[in-house]
Structure 1
Amino acid sequence: MENHQRRLVISLFAYAVYKDVSAIELARLAGIDLDELKNNEEIVFTSKQINDLWLNAAHLTKDELFGLHFGESLQLSALGTIGEIIKNSTTIGEALTIAANLTHLITNLFKLEIIHSKDTFTLQFVPLIAIQKDVPFSFKQTLDLFMVFSIRELDGLLFEKIKPLSVNFPYEIINTMEYERVMRCAPSQKSGAFSLTFDNKCWNMQILMANYDLQKSLLEKVASLENQVPVLEHTFQSRIYNYLLTNSYLGIVSIEEIAANFNISSRGLQRRLKEVGITYQQLADEARKSLAIHYLRSANYQVKEISYMLGYNEVSAFSKAFKRWTGTSPVDYQRSAFVQ
């Protein structure tokens, strides 16, 4: 049986490395044997190891909202077989019900309950540990991760950005603007509540399975690039570029969003890229070009679909950009690629 907690811990390490943290240093501080993590499917983590992992990941990345940003970046595929089960649902309601029933395989800090009313449904994250005045750091981080990931999961299932009606915590949220940016809803303080509430119209919405073919294609594209390393290996621009690719199934991410996820200002991000002689717009265009060529060569998508997936409102704008990149139109490129 798959060790789902191990898979999540590996994803956490990967995200920390993505943010320029040494996996060796993080493992040492958390008291986790990296070789055992990589090779032992049966590895079990203590509460102290998990807490130290969160504490040091936040410390080394200088990001007190590490869990929030990790959730923003996490892909459903990171949940392994749980992700596959969720993807095989037919409606949002079915997917969330399955997710609620499987939460215990990933964390023992809380359980997920779904509460229905006439017009809404609420995802209630119920603590399985005693919550005193000072909420444990690892609990806060894990909760942020799962709350954000739940919203992102709906995005991927429906191929559109879903906005909660309310986001509730039993304590005051300090960085409200960043929570509102990531969760698309200003957080509210409500006694005893860790919850996300959505409009009931989402419950019976059909899952678009084609989205997962697209996301799988994206992840394969990123993996192939990471295997070609020498030019961009471990550079800041390569991390930005790969982030753009991995998260582009809802359009290319804005510079403000990606800067916030990397815990720097948009000016700081632009300055760091300028130091290596490249702009954010150049990276975004390169990501669009790479994805456009990838999609056209696959012959699975029409030009109109590709244009939409890359964030262009008009096919003509995409065609103009593609011709600037390659010297030929998307239609002609796809036709020649298919002939070859």
Structure 2
Amino acid sequence: MNDFQLLFVSNLLGYATQRNLSPERLCTLSGIDLEAFKQQTSVVITPKQLNDLWLNASHLSNDPLFGLHFGESMQLAALGVVGQIIQTSKTVGEALTHAADFIQLLTNLFDMDVSRTDRTFSVQFIPHPDRAAESPFALRQMLDLSMAFVLHEVDGLVLKRIKPDVVTLAYDTADTPEYERVLRCRPIEKTDANSLVFDGQYWDEPILTANHELQQILLQKASALLNTFGTGQLLNERILNYLIANAYLGMPTLEEIAANFNTSSRSLQRKLQEEGVTYQQLADSIRKSLAVTYLESGRYPIKEISYLLGYNELSAFSRAFKRWTGSTPVTYQKR
């Protein structure tokens, strides 16, 4: 396997750990030598092993949409690829065009094609029939993952929460409302293609390279989660890790967190209460930590920091920051 594929499998195991699955058990069931993988000594993961890894992750998590949720959560996971794309791109259109070339570094199950019309542009995922027959479950999960990942990475390139105009799938969905939530499009159309169609205005949108630097900072903060295969963490610790790893696009709602952890918001609240904490407290602790980091760096306007942390109004962020620190963001940054 190449380095990007190894990184991908590593992140899949890291996300499984985040979902409180045992990477040792996952690898054993999938015929993968975890110790050899950790050492990256002559590691070869076959298509069958990768297909089995997806099957076992989905089964053990009781989540048939494991790939979709992984794609929603992995903005930072493929940063090696994303970083190279950003370095060679100036606009969203250029970045997606280059991403189509890079997709083969991560998977050979399908091609990614980017096309443009006068009013829209589309990203289509085209399976290879022979490889699809060899790894059908992995193909489905990788398609789900890639569609969610592309959508969220476009967000990260321009710091806007972008909604596609049209989403089409070539397969039946087990939970259509969840696809609509993650892919931000209703209704999702059933056709013979897997595609995301965007308004053409975003094609020439400049990439915010400074946000790539922010991703790198957060990647360092999340490195323990992404590179350590340990289980047994409390739910609040796993949620904190998730929030750190994905915070550069704002705080997810309680409902979004619950969906990604394949549970109901009520059940998640109850489990957190048993651990003596609320989701609001967890989110605020991350917001405070990141707000201080951003302000101390001096690289980001306060209004941008406010947006990054999920506040629609600057005044709301200012009130929250003063509650946390006793100082306004302006005063704190001047120090």
Cα distance, 1:204 vs structure 2: 1.4
Cα distance, 1:140 vs structure 2: 0.5
DSSP 3-state at the match of 1:294: helix
Q: Would the aligned equivalents of 2:47 and 2:134 in 1 still touch at CA under 8 Å?
A: no
Matches of 1:168 and 1:215, distance apart in 2: 29
Partner of 1:320: 319
Partner of 2:194: 194
Which digits, 9 at most, give the CA deviation of each residue in 1:179-201, with x for residues without a partner?
000000132111x2121111222
- Is the aligned partner of 1:22 residue 2:22? yes
Q: Which moved more, 1:83-92 or 1:15-24?
A: 83-92
Cα distance, 1:303 vs structure 2: 3.1
Partner of 1:174: 174
DSSP 3-state at the match of 1:249: helix
Query: Which one-letter code corresponds to 2:242 in the other structure?
Result: Y
Cα distance, 1:131 vs structure 2: 8.4
Q: Note the residue ranges of structure 1 that are not aligned, 5 or more in a row.
A: 228-232
DSSP 3-state at the match of 1:243: helix
DSSP 3-state at the match of 2:197: strand
Superposition map of 1:43-58 within 5 A = 43-58=43-58
Which digits, 9 at most, give the CA deviation of each residue in 1:183-235, with x for residues without a partner?
00132111x212111122221111111111222222223448999xxxxx821
Which digits, 9 at most, give the CA deviation of each residue in 1:109-144, with x for residues without a partner?
111112333322221211112488999211100110
Q: Would the aligned equivalents of 1:173 and 1:187 in 2 still touch at CA under 8 Å?
A: no
RMSD: 2.5
By relative contact order (CA 8 Å, sep 6+), the higher-ranking structure is 2
Query: Which one-letter code corresponds to 2:216 in the other structure?
Result: K
> For this pair of structures, how many residues does the alignment match?
330
DSSP 3-state at the match of 2:310: coil
Matches of 2:169 and 2:52, distance apart in 1: 23
Superposition map of 1:157-172 within 5 A = 157-172=157-172
Superposition map of 1:25-40 within 5 A = 25-40=25-40
Superposition map of 1:212-227 within 5 A = 212-223=212-223
- Is the aligned partner of 1:124 residue 2:121? no
Query: Which one-letter code corresponds to 1:267 in the other structure?
Result: R
Partner of 1:257: 256
Alpha-carbon distance change, 205 to 33 in structure 1, aligned in 2, over 3 angstroms: same
Query: Which one-letter code corresponds to 1:104 in the other structure?
Result: Q
DSSP 3-state at the match of 1:150: helix
Alpha-carbon distance change, 84 to 2 in structure 1, aligned in 2, over 3 angstroms: farther
Matches of 1:309 and 1:127, distance apart in 2: 35
Matches of 1:314 and 1:62, distance apart in 2: 38
Alpha-carbon distance change, 251 to 132 in structure 1, aligned in 2, over 3 angstroms: closer
Q: Would the aligned equivalents of 1:74 and 1:149 in 2 still touch at CA under 8 Å?
A: yes
Cα distance, 1:86 vs structure 2: 1.1
Matches of 1:212 and 1:272, distance apart in 2: 35
Partner of 1:296: 295
Q: Would the aligned equivalents of 1:307 and 1:314 in 2 still touch at CA under 8 Å?
A: yes
- Is the aligned partner of 1:144 residue 2:129? no
DSSP 3-state at the match of 1:67: helix
Matches of 2:100 and 2:134, distance apart in 1: 26
Alpha-carbon distance change, 221 to 280 in structure 1, aligned in 2, over 3 angstroms: same
Alpha-carbon distance change, 44 to 74 in structure 1, aligned in 2, over 3 angstroms: same
Cα distance, 1:79 vs structure 2: 4.7
Cα distance, 1:67 vs structure 2: 0.2
Cα distance, 1:279 vs structure 2: 0.8
Matches of 1:197 and 1:303, distance apart in 2: 33
Partner of 2:236: 237
Alpha-carbon distance change, 54 to 290 in structure 1, aligned in 2, over 3 angstroms: same
Q: Would the aligned equivalents of 2:122 and 2:198 in 1 still touch at CA under 8 Å?
A: yes
Partner of 1:230: none
Alpha-carbon distance change, 329 to 225 in structure 1, aligned in 2, over 3 angstroms: farther
Partner of 1:287: 286
Alpha-carbon distance change, 224 to 295 in structure 1, aligned in 2, over 3 angstroms: farther
Partner of 1:247: 246
Query: Which one-letter code corresponds to 1:255 in the other structure?
Result: L
- Is the aligned partner of 1:274 residue 2:273? yes
Q: Which moved more, 1:44-53 or 1:110-119?
A: 110-119
Q: Would the aligned equivalents of 1:26 and 1:57 in 2 still touch at CA under 8 Å?
A: yes
Alpha-carbon distance change, 133 to 11 in structure 1, aligned in 2, over 3 angstroms: closer
Matches of 1:224 and 1:23, distance apart in 2: 15
